[in-house]
Structure formats: C-alpha cells, structure tokens
Structure 1
Amino acid sequence: MSTQSAAERPPVLIRSAQDVTELVNSGAARGSHAKMIVLLALGGIFLDAYDLTSLAYGITDIKQQFGLSSFGAGAVTASISVGAIIGAWFGGVLVDRLGRYRVFMADMLFFVVSAIGCALAPNAEVLIVCRFLMGIGVGMDIPVAMAFLAEFSRLRGKGSKGARTASWSTAWYVATSGCYVVIMALYFLLPDSHHGLLWRFTVGFGAVPALVILLVRNKYMNESPSWAADNGDLHRAAEILTRSYGVNATVAEDAEVPRKPERKGLPEVKRLFGPRYRARTFQALTIGLAQTFGYNAVAYGLPVIIASILAQGALNTISASLVLNLVFAVTGGVLGIRLANRAGAWRLTFVGFAVQLVSLVVLALIGKPDGAAYVLFAIAALGAFMFAQASGPGAHFMSFASLSYPTSMRGTGLGFNQGTLRVGSTLALFFFPVLSTALGSGVFWVIALAPLMGLVALLAKRWEPVGHDADALEAEAAAVR
C-alpha cells in the first residue's frame, strides 16, 4: 500500500510505545512492505546457513590444496563459528542500541566481502581470516533477523510471531539444500580436472543473495516500529507503520512522550539474569546448546558420514545429502511452522529431541552398515534425525530465545543465546572430524547426549513462549514500579 492510500484511511492514534506494539500484535496492521521485510530477514538467515554449509563438502579438497592436517582442517571449519560467537555477543547489544536496520545492512556488507575473499583465498591463512569475518556477519545477523521476524508479526493466528520465528528453520534448510544444488550443478559443469575448485565457486556464490538484498533495501527495508517507539521516537514509529503497513498512524496530541533510555555499561545483559528472566535465559540456552551441538555434528558432518560410514562415492554423497535435506529437513521445517500455534514450541521441541535420541541410538547400534538393508536403515535414521530437528528444536529454540523477552532487550537476549551456544557449535565443528575418525560410528553415542540434555532442560521448566506478549507484561511491571 502506498503512503497516499494510507492517508485516506481513518487515523490510528498512537499515544505510547505500547500502542505501537499492540497495533502490530493485534494483526490490525497488514502491509506488503511488512511481509517483504519478513522475507528479507529470512533471506539473511538463508545466507547464514548457506555460508556455514558451503565448505561441508569441499573440506577434503581444501585439505589437499593447502596440505592441511586434521587440526588445520578443523581450524578452517571452525573459524566461521569463532567469528559468529563474537558477532552474536556484540551484535545482539548493537541491535538494541543502534536499531535493527543499521545492523542488518552491515551484515550484508560482511557477507559480500567475506564470500569473495574466501573464494579467492591463496592460502589457508587467508581462508581462515575471511571465514572468521564471515562468521562475524553470521553472528550479527541472527539477532537482527529474529528481531525483525518477531516485531513485524502479529501475536497469534496466521503469520504469528511463533510461526514466523519457527520459519527460520525452513529458510535454513532451503539454504542448505540450495548449497548442495549449487555443488551438484558445478560438479557437472566443471571438468573433472577442476573439481578441486568446487568449493571456491560455491563459497563465492554466497555474495550474490547479499548483493540482491542490498539493492532492494531502500524500497522495502525499514526499522522496527516497536524499537523506534521503545527508544523514544513515536513519530518515527508512526512513519514506519504508515509506510510498511499502510495504516494512517498519527501521534496523538496527548501522547506520552517516551524518554529515550539511558544505557550505561551492559544493563540489558544483567536483566537476562534478573528474577523475571533468569530461568527463561538458562532454559533457552540449554535447549540451544543441545540442538546446535547435535545439528552441527550431523548436518555439517553429513557428507563425511555418508562418504565414510556409509561408504558412498562423491556423486552419491552429494545426492544423498541433497535428498536428506529436501525430503526430511525442509518438510519438517514446514510442519514446524504449521503446528507452531496449535501445538506450541515446548511440545514440538520435546517430541523432536525424543525422536533425535532414538535416531542416534539406532545409528550407533547399526555401526558401519553391512548390506543394503542396513544402509537403508541408517539413511532412514539420519532422515528421521533431520526431520525431528527441523520440526522441533531446530525450529523452536529461536522462539524460546526471542519471544521470552520484550523489545528493549530482545536483541541482547538473542545475541547472548547465539554467541554462547556457538561455543558448542565451534566445538562440534572442530572435534567432529577427530571424533569421527577415532570412534567411527561410535561417535553417535556421544552426539546422543545432546538431545538427552535438551529433554532434561524442557522437563525442568514447562515454559511456553508462543503467544506470550513480553512487551505487555513488561509495561505492566514498569507501571507497578
């Protein structure tokens, strides 16, 4: 809707920051630009997944080209996660301090520069540095993208916060599948003698979507109206609502002019561990660590698992990885979105962890498959793991991390959660090749500890973030104080 058509509508009076949030939460404000912002935010998550997955298949060629040991290969693989830790911790605070829009645009620049740098890297040292910079962009992007998804969505019903925060998982798996599509296309396009360059073209292609987002930013992207209002600018919030939602938002003459919060030190981080949010923070972190460790070990190690444990060749490895992502992960992610409002994040996450635990135990018991039947059972167990991940903890751990907090600290909460659980991700990426080599199929017993930890965390506190209006409760608490 255009601004002119919005002006012809009855005015919607804004008197406080809570009015802005309630207008979005109610679903009364609907606009094509708001939907585009959600899609662009999911595009950022697409880039995160693509960049993290792009070296999953090519690490063997990188080891050969640069003469790397297992330790060196682990450093290349884990460097992006180390950068993501720093990017998430600091990026989450910046998202709350500077706003969602500025940080999101900075992310896209990180993605473009680092993707091209990785593709042209002359040695392992340059590749590690560029992957580290890419990781900083990935770490900064998750808090801002999830904040956009939460703050441009209604509280309940179709297109709700719960469904859209869960949709990040589908975007992730579509990106992972897209990465394998790119790899497969290059596999057939490049001569056999140039297959060692597959990883360079794959990584470099990651700059293209980021450039597209940068090109359309002026037409569609905007700041979060909830963030603008929460930071003392009701007039800007009204302008954003008018442009993005097509409503005739007007600041009332008797509006309560919010005072821009004074932030000294890191008060938002301290609030994460205050009486109101402490239990939610620890539960969200434990669930995140559990799902991230298991996912990284299985999903990013998928080509290694298929190639070594299932004894498959290069083309079959790429094909099986693609099929597992498309058939099991993407469909699971779609199911997780559709059931978010009906079943809730807690129940879907619990069922997902339970299925993962069973799948990993089956893989550990099968060991190295001896015969076609056992190979099919192993592939089915991998598929069940990825389906459960995408529909359960993979989709909804972000709901625990984002919907538990109000606008004023949402970015910080997401950044702390992401930065800390990236430690688990880094350990998984670094040690999986070593553990896989040393333990073979026995590595699945180690990975099985992750969903078990997630189940314990869920049973410790039955907290449901879907449908929870954190901003309203925070406003009530502030009024009492």
Structure 2
Amino acid sequence: MGAESRHRRDPSGPARETLVIRNPRDVYNFINDTPRKATRNRLMIFTALASLLVDGWDTAGLSAGVPSLVETFELSAFETGLLTSSIGFGMLFAAFVGGHLVDRIGRLRMFLLDMVLFVVAAIIGALAPNFAMVVVARFLMGVGIGIDVPAAMSVVAEQTNTRRKRTFVNQHMLFFYYAIVGSYLISWLLLEVGGVGNSLWRWQMAIGGVLAFIIIVTRLTVAEETAFWLASRGHLRSAAGVIEKVYGVKVTIEAPAQPRAERRIPFTYFFRGKYLKRTILSTEINFFQSLVYFAVGFYLPVTAGVLFDDPAVALLGTAAVQCAGLVGAVFASVFANRVGLRRETLIGFGVEVPALVVIGIGVVQGWMPPFVGIVVLAIFLMAHTLGPAQTGVSIAVLSYPTEMRGRGTGLSYGVGRIGAIAGFYVFPLLLAPLGLGNTLLLLALAPLFGFLIALFVKWDPTGATSETEESDEPGEPTGRPVGEGAAR
C-alpha cells in the first residue's frame, strides 16, 4: 500500500492532510510518490550537488596549474604523476571508508565533514612552501571528495520523487562542468589580466577553499538528515519530523510497539544475485571513464598546448572544449528518463573511441589543424559527459536500497578512482616516449572496453529506488533493536 493511500484529513485544520506512517516503506513511498516541490527540499538538493562545484573547480584549477607547478618546484615526470594522482589516492581511500560511514552514521554528518576537509586542504595547498605539502593538500582534498560523493549523491536520490530521481542524480556532472568552465576562464584572467604567473595554482586552490566555505555555511543552514536513512534505521519519529519540516505535512506514527531488529548487510551482497550485474556495470563504467578522462580530459591544456603555441590561447581552447562538456552534461540530465542511463553510456563510449582514433592518427600523420583538433576534442568530451562521466555514479546511487546506497556508491566511485590514478600516471609517462598521437590511440582502448562490457551487462535503474522492489530484504538480523527507543 502506497503512502498516498494512508493520508487522512486533519480535523484541526480546514484542508490539511495527515500522513500515517506504520513502517519505513511508508516513508519511502511518500517521498517517491509526492508531487510536492518544497523550497527547503530544493535547497538541500542544491547544496548536495554544489559540492561538485568544488570538485570541478579543483580539477580544472590543478589541470591549468600543472605547468606552473612543474616550473615552481622543478618536477620530474614521476613527481608530476605523483602530484596529480595524490588526489586520486585520497579519493580511493575515502570512497570505501566514507561509503561505509555514510550508511552507518548517516548522510548529514559526513555531508558536513567533507566540506571542512575541502577548506583545510585548500588552505594548506595555497600556502604550501614545498612539493611535499602540495601533495598532502591534494591527498586531503581527495579524501574530502571521496567522502562527499557517496553522501551527496545519497541525499539527492533520497530527496527526490521517482519521476525526477534520475534527472536530478544525473545533474551532478552538470555542476561539475559549471565549475570546470568557470575555473578555466578564471585561470585565463589570472594569467592575462592578473599576471599571477607561476602562482596560478595557489590562487586556484584559495578560490576553491572560499567556494567550499560558502557551501558549508549553506549546508549548516538548510541540511537535514534524510528521512530515507532515518526510516531505514528504524527512527520513524525522526523521519516524520524531517518530513513535516521539509514538506509541511502533518505526520502520525502508528508503528509497532517493539522496534525491529537491525539488519547487517555483508559486503558480499554487492556480488550476489541481482546486485552482481549492477555492481559490475557501475564499477566498470566508472573505471574506464575515469581512466580516459584523467588521461585525456585532465591534460587537455597539455594537448591544446601541442596544437597551439601560445599558452593563453591553449587555455581558451581548453575552456571551449569544456563548454562542449557542459552541453553534454545538460543533455544527459534532460534525456536521462527518456534514453536511460545504460543507453547514454553506450552512446558516450561509442563516440569517444572514433574521436580519439581520429585525433590520434591526425597528430601522428601531422595533418591535424589546431581548429579541427579542438573540434574533435569537443566532440569527445561532449560524448563523455553525455554518457559514462555521469552514468557510473548515477547507476550506483539508484541500484541499491538505503542501507547499501552509501557503500555501493563508494564502491563504484572507489573503483573509478583506481582508473583515475592510472589515467593521471599513464598520460605523462606515455607522452614522453610515444608522443601525443600514439598515446591517444592507445587510450582509445579504454572507452572500447567500457562499451563492450556495458553492451553485454544489461541493467538500467527504472527511476524508482530499490526500496520499491519486491522481496528486497537484504541483510541478516544482528539481534540489536533499532528505532526511537534503541541505542544509536
């Protein structure tokens, strides 16, 4: 029985309805079915997605600042790879640990902790006196991002109704590319107008810290623990309080007198039964898309520098390519429900392969004009953001029930960070001996493998969360009660 069928008229008010909650499923059904568009709820979703602004800003800021960092500290190819991949190691560590904590202690606490890490990392990085401190700052930033993605994406999935769930979840890449484009444009202004020279990377880290601080203040003002998570832990009264506060609906609890037993969900559940192919699909997408993006997309200024002699022109060319990525992210959000996440993945990977092959052959043969190269890179990035750049995380968020969502998203994102680390290292190490063209030809194998696996692993979230699936009762009783009267 859905939550809508459990609405009653409140006799104390002229037309106010009362939501009756008897079990967690009533909470899930109400949020999944409600057509209400509460302002506070929208702000919570916005502050969750806004953390991707920090991630995107930091990614583009470091990408644009790599040449100045190399000159400042006279870095070798190995040190450059270590510097750029240090954030990936931080993400990898935090994605697995953070995903577990997001499920264990809640979305809200981790939601605030990660932004504090962003600010601390930005301060350390902007003031770093040596290479080692920059690496430490990058690692801490990665830890913050690794914690934030499972928390923020869980909040988005658990605050939206079924009809709009995939659309909102897919918007995380849209926010990422807002920041990417803005960061490259600011980098150009800092170089051309501000004359910051080799201090560009310090300025970019400092601006990222200010952005993170603004998001912290906003989250402290509007954020609430999600009713989904509270209900899944048996805290029905707390979940009711959140619903009343966010949606303005009066709630009555008619729950059993005895709290239900807490269920322990082993990590092996991600590799059993119906969850196996979901885990395979989301993790393989994240791995291959991260590898190709952080090898090709992250080093776009380097590639543009090969096509153009002027560093400032190369930055503007990079910003233009990133605008194409922004367009792809818009399409991904708009067409998520119509096309489906798996089909978006296949389209994206399917276009990336020929794009990399064309530009690779063109550079090797020496017939690639700079303008044509930028156009092909733009097509590559648009396909990337339309498809695999966002679908890996989106599929993970929508494939698991509340009790597994944080860990499932963390698992998928963590595997993606392994691909990111490989991409960070692969590009500079291959570029020196092979040259740009041959490096791009080799990297075309990543989207090819991603396409083939997605072609054979057939799973696409319907837009409803796993809480609505029949016989979806993962886990084993621990014997410990959970609920309002249980110890938390």
- Tell me the TM-score normalised to structure 1 length: 0.92
Distance 1:24 1:472 in 2: 12
SS of 1:13's partner is strand
* CA distance 1:478–1:98, shift in 2 (3 Å): closer
Equivalent residues of 1:230, 1:407 under 8 A apart: yes
Q: 2:438 is matched with which residue: 417, 439, 442?
A: 442
Equivalent residues of 2:277, 2:459 under 8 A apart: no
State whether structure 2 residue 187 is matched by structure 1 residue 183.
yes
Q: 1:129 is matched with which residue: 121, 131, 136?
A: 136
Q: Give how far 1:291 is off.
A: 1.1
Q: Which residue of 2 aligns with 1:259?
A: 260
Q: Which residue of 2 aligns with 1:116?
A: 123
SS of 1:12's partner is strand
State whether structure 2 residue 94 is matched by structure 1 residue 90.
no
Deviations 1:192-223 (A, max 9, x none): xx411111001111111211122122331111
Q: Which residue of 2 aligns with 1:155?
A: 162
Deviations 1:148-204 (A, max 9, x none): 111111112xxx11111111111111111121122122123323xx41111100111
Distance 1:6 1:277 in 2: 45
Deviations 1:97-127 (A, max 9, x none): 0100100100000000001110000000111
Q: Which residue of 1 aligns with 2:5?
A: none
Q: Which residue of 1 aligns with 2:236?
A: 234
Equivalent residues of 1:16, 1:257 under 8 A apart: no
1:239 corresponds to which letter in structure 2? G
SS of 2:20's partner is strand
Equivalent residues of 2:32, 2:464 under 8 A apart: no
SS of 1:431's partner is helix
- Aligned structure 1 segments of 4 or more residues deviating by more than 4 angstroms: 5-8, 254-258, 368-371, 474-479
Q: Give how far 1:433 is off.
A: 1.1
Deviations 1:350-401 (A, max 9, x none): 1111111110111111115756x73222211101111101111112222221
* CA distance 1:478–1:389, shift in 2 (3 Å): closer
State whether structure 2 residue 405 is matched by structure 1 residue 417.
no
Q: Where do residues 241-280 of structure 1 align in structure 2 (5 Å cutoff)? A: 241-252=243-254, 254-255=255-256, 259=260, 261=262, 263=264, 267-280=265-278
* CA distance 1:468–1:28, shift in 2 (3 Å): closer
1:220 corresponds to which letter in structure 2? V
Q: 2:338 is matched with which residue: 331, 335, 342?
A: 342
Distance 2:373 2:402 in 1: 44
Distance 2:404 2:229 in 1: 10
Distance 2:260 2:247 in 1: 25
State whether structure 2 residue 372 is matched by structure 1 residue 377.
yes
Q: Which residue of 2 aligns with 1:400?
A: 395
Q: Which residue of 2 aligns with 1:305?
A: 303
Q: Which shows bigger deviation, 437-446 or 130-139?
A: 437-446
* CA distance 1:272–1:39, shift in 2 (3 Å): same
Aligned pair count? 464
Distance 1:345 1:128 in 2: 35
SS of 1:206's partner is helix
- Tell me the TM-score normalised to structure 2 length: 0.91
2:421 corresponds to which letter in structure 1? T
Percent sequence identity over matched residues? 33
* CA distance 1:260–1:210, shift in 2 (3 Å): farther
* CA distance 1:202–1:478, shift in 2 (3 Å): closer
Equivalent residues of 1:268, 1:412 under 8 A apart: no
SS of 1:277's partner is helix
Q: Which residue of 2 aligns with 1:333?
A: 329
Q: Give how far 1:294 is off.
A: 1.1
Q: Which residue of 1 aligns with 2:8?
A: none
Equivalent residues of 2:53, 2:179 under 8 A apart: yes
SS of 1:197's partner is helix
Equivalent residues of 2:304, 2:315 under 8 A apart: no
Distance 2:203 2:192 in 1: 13
Q: Give how far 1:7 is off.
A: 11
Q: Give how far 1:262 is off.
A: 5.1
* CA distance 1:331–1:125, shift in 2 (3 Å): same
Measured on the aligned residues, the alpha-carbon RMSD in Å equals 2.1
Distance 1:430 1:257 in 2: 55
Q: Which shows bigger deviation, 419-428 or 465-474?
A: 465-474
Distance 2:259 2:37 in 1: 25
State whether structure 2 residue 455 is matched by structure 1 residue 451.
no
SS of 2:400's partner is coil
* CA distance 1:358–1:426, shift in 2 (3 Å): same
